A and B are shown apart, each in its own frame.
Chain A
């Protein structure tokens, strides 16, 4: 089956991102396809490469980046939600006159149309949020 995943909450604060990760990983292990993981609301904070959790804790962002690399996952961060919250790739940083960017490896910034497209293309859309 082809899944679309929506993550609506930030890392550490809420379990939604952990659950989305576990679900995505399990689905891939079972041979399912993940069409896209879309990050919205505070979910965009999952994509900051500047998080530095304690050594004995999981690194949620690194975990997504690693999974993306292993499975060629499409991790998409909503541009409007990301810009509001200070999640920027190099292009957006330049466009908005910021001197730094922080989008982690394996993520890309794009529009909400990518969420709707996932809803259309996937057999099931699974929402992880509050």
Chain B
């Protein structure tokens, strides 16, 4: 019984497609930081995980973040560590980059840049979409 409960706790071998949708700038609100905390904890559950970055969320991945003067920790290096957690599917919306004068070269990690339409298709394929 105890073992069965454990299995339930871990999802009982079910693998679902989880997408974390990051829409907010890295600082200014705590959404980005706390979203990353969910991703890191969630990685222990062996699910099929992907991350989407849209709107100001693309700034989360921007190179050259300098946060000492706002008294906050620069957590952007953590995105580079996601690979070690087997979180390898990072999708960034082209239109959001374009609107902010950014390109894939400006980001701290290698990502797949997708169009808004492609992003919609990716979202359609998910079982669980967590918006932050």
Partners in one complex: yes
Chain A residues close to B by CB (< 8 Å): 6, 8, 40-41, 80-81, 111-113, 115-117, 119-121, 125, 127, 129-130
Q: Closest chain B residue to A80 by CB distance? A: B37
B94-132 at interface with A (beta carbon < 8 Å) = 127-132
- Additional pairs, 20, CB under 8 Å, beyond known A116-B41, A117-B10: A6-B130, A8-B31, A40-B34, A40-B38, A41-B30, A41-B31, A41-B34, A80-B34, A80-B37, A111-B41, A113-B44, A115-B42, A116-B11, A116-B45, A119-B18, A119-B47, A120-B14, A120-B16, A121-B8, A125-B128
Q: Closest chain B residue to A119 by CB distance? A: B128
Interface size on B, residues (CB 8 A): 23
Q: Closest chain B residue to A120 by CB distance? A: B11
- Sorted nearest first, the 7 A-B pairs with minimum C-beta distance are A120-B11, A112-B41, A119-B128, A116-B42, A116-B45, A125-B128, A127-B131
A127 contacts B41, CB within 8 Å? no
Q: Closest chain B residue to A115 by CB distance? A: B38
B24-50 at interface with A (beta carbon < 8 Å) = 30-31, 34, 37-38, 41-42, 44-45, 47
Q: Is B9 located at the chain interface by the 8 A CB criterion?
A: yes
Most B C-beta atoms less than 10 A away, residue of A111, A116, A117, A119: A116
In the assembled complex, which residues on chain B have CB atoms less than 8 Å from the CB atom of A40?
34, 38
Q: State the CA gap A41–B10 with chains docked (Å).
A: 23
Chain B residues close to A by CB (< 8 Å): 8-11, 14, 16, 18, 30-31, 34, 37-38, 41-42, 44-45, 47, 127-132
A113 contacts B132, CB within 8 Å? no
Q: Closest chain A residue to B128 by CB distance? A: A119
In the assembled complex, which residues on chain B have CB atoms less than 8 Å from the CB atom of A111?
41
In the assembled complex, which residues on chain B have CB atoms less than 8 Å from the CB atom of A116?
11, 18, 38, 41-42, 45, 47
In the assembled complex, which residues on chain A have CB atoms less than 8 Å from the CB atom of B14?
120-121
B34 contacts A117, CB within 8 Å? no
A112 contacts B130, CB within 8 Å? no
The residue that A112 contacts in the complex, of B9, B18, B42, B47, with Cβ under 8 A, is B42
B37 contacts A112, CB within 8 Å? yes
A113 contacts B41, CB within 8 Å? yes
CB distance from B13 to the nearest CB of A (A): 10
Q: Closest chain B residue to A125 by CB distance? A: B128
The residue that B47 contacts in the complex, of A6, A41, A120, with Cβ under 8 A, is A120
Q: State the CA gap A120–B46 with chains docked (Å).
A: 11
